[in-house]
Amino acid sequence: MAMLDGKQIVLGVTGGIAAFKACSLIRRLMERGAAVQVVMTQHATEFVTPLTFQTLSGRSVAVDLFTARPVGPLPHIDLAKWAHILVIAPATANIIGKIAAGIADDLLSTLVMATESPVVLAPAMNANMYSNPIVQQNIEKLRALGYRFVEPEEGILASGDRGVGRLAKLTAIIAEIEAAISGEVTE
């Protein structure tokens, strides 16, 4: 039996160019037997349409806190209870900062505050943003609180610059999801 067989995964997608890679992540998670519910930020819809994720996941995509009804009438609470794990890939500096500050002003950030399940974040952003001391401080704060991270890779970024900030390989993200679900402690 696959480790993700029967697991319910909420995949948060934020507004960065790496949002398109979440399409492949959905497929790989589902191939391993997981049910995937996508929650997008409004900015993410500028990069990939909700219809794309709905088609891939076979589930309605939740974008708005007040109109989303993928599981029940209170999407942030209902999805928090439904999920065995919450994964945010890509995780922008914006969502990392919101979580670190306890800001819950959209469906995804509100869902993070309501969940008791493990949370895995896979940052993806410009290298200068990723190395910014504020972003690094937010990441360290969240790590200390038990949030799990999949480090971004070095390479050519959307801006044409080279540096650390590319979304981690999907195999690394899936490995961290499996480790989180099994309760394995990772560095």
Q: Could you tell me what percentage of the chain is helix, strand and coil, using 3-state DSSP and rounding each to the nearest 5?
A: 45, 20, 35
pLDDT tens digits for 142-185?
A: 999 999 999 999 999 888 889 999 999 999 999 999 999 998 77
Is 3.40.50.150 the CATH classification of the domain at 8-182? no
pLDDT score at 69: 57
Among 187, 100, 118, CA closest to 150: 187
List the chain residues with pLDDT less than 50.
Answer: 1
**Longest CA pairwise span in the chain (Å):** 44
H-assigned helices in the chain: 21-31, 50-57, 75-82, 93-101, 107-114, 127-131, 133-144, 170-182
CA separation (Å) from 105 to 92, 111, 130, 162?
15, 10, 23, 33
Strand pairing partners for 156? 162
At 77 the pLDDT is 87
Predicted pLDDT of residue 72: 66
**Domains of the chain by residue range:** 8-182
Q: Are 127 and 52 in contact (CB under 8 A)?
A: no
Q: What is the pLDDT of residue 131?
A: 97
